[in-house]
Structure 1
Amino acid sequence: MNARVRRLWWICLALAAVLTVIFLALYALAPGWRKSLVTENHSLEMLSAILALAAAIVGFRAWLALPGRPRILLLIPVTVLLFFLEEISWGEEFLRYPLPVVFGRKLHSVHDLVPYTLWALRDRSPLLLNGLLAATFALGAAAMVPLWKRRASLREGLRRRPALGFFFASLALIALGQISDVEVWHKQAVYFLEELLELNAALVFLFAGLALRLTARPDERPGVPRPAAPP
């Protein structure tokens, strides 16, 4: 990891820590803010959406400047754009179209299918839910075996394409948000934790876009003109 990438990581971690402390303090010390922090399309989710939109713009501009425009790196801004659309409920707050109902609940975003399905299974067949969760964890553990065997090549790939490190960190935060949404403790606190994790994921996505700029050659970074061709 070169010095510029390391600096990006430290700045990202510092900003994530500051945001986390601020919103934890708001949730703990200002009960009047709690509803706004956990409600769909309100303060915390809108801040995540703004960061995600900025990350998508930075990511697309950086990818367009990359030599050869690798398709695997295009996955970063495309995923971030989808995350932005998920955060604004695909425009429902602004366009006011009717949301579909799944398992008796309004489906604000595609990723809500995960907790909705888990809740439906919990209510109808706890045994089936436990079996599904056990199978999921078993498959996840099995998938880690080939990844562990290829850890050297994966580490080299992340060194050459540092944006992927930020990208995978964001996906991990989103996955943690989904896991926290099983509602094993106070519902409002669970929603707050999910929104806080998604806010940090949006922040890390922004740094993935910034790291993508570092992948471009110096004369091909966004905003830097290419030298004129020789006559």
Structure 2
Amino acid sequence: MRKLTQNELHLYEEQGYVVLKDFFPKSEMNVMNEEINLLEQSGTLPPPKVSDHEGFIFELAMLSDKTRMFASDDRILNVLEDIVYPGISIYSSKLVSKLPYSETVCHWHQDDAYYHKVGESKVRMSIWVPLTDATLENGCIWVVPQSHKLGLQSFQAKDYGTCRLALVEDQVDLSPAIPLELEAGNLVLFSAMLWHSSKGNQTDQTRRAFIVSYQEATILKGNGRQWTILRPAEQ
């Protein structure tokens, strides 16, 4: 099982994110999509619908053995070891879908605008795994490189879209923003301080991403019952 190379670690530290291409076989992404379809069909979880969090399914890693095993996969934890420490725990997990022809945006935001209320962390971050190809047309993630170095920014509550604790856009420079077009099975690691967003889906297919947020194991709480220590901190 691989770990981050020195160049990948440097990119993460300098840019606030790094993309690991072809991290998972596409066959595994197909299996995960089938699992989510089965969960929806069985009534274990409701289908995505228009709401404050259109297309979101929370606590995804708690809904089945397969989703739980994915969030705690040693392949993921091994590449996180040089970023998340001491120890590794899950803060939260979710599925984020862009429904066909949805105009719903995820506003520019920082994850720590939500997370810091639970506990302060210097290493908290997330993985973003496209279960389907993510393109400009179907609402891929956008990021502002190096924005994580600027600390937690002011934010305001929006009354539409998702990711509603939004950056105050006339107070920040979004001109360096770039899209991350990703193939299913890529792995994105990004800091909880990184500015990111996504636009609507202009296609007739659903775009899905499995997101898990991790933090050091020495913070003994997370997003409710989702908090799980995966690798204890060494004594």
TM-score (norm 1): 0.28
Larger-gyration structure (1/2): 1
Judging by fraction of residues, say which structure has more strand.
2
Judging by fraction of residues, say which structure has more helix.
1
TM-score (norm 2): 0.28
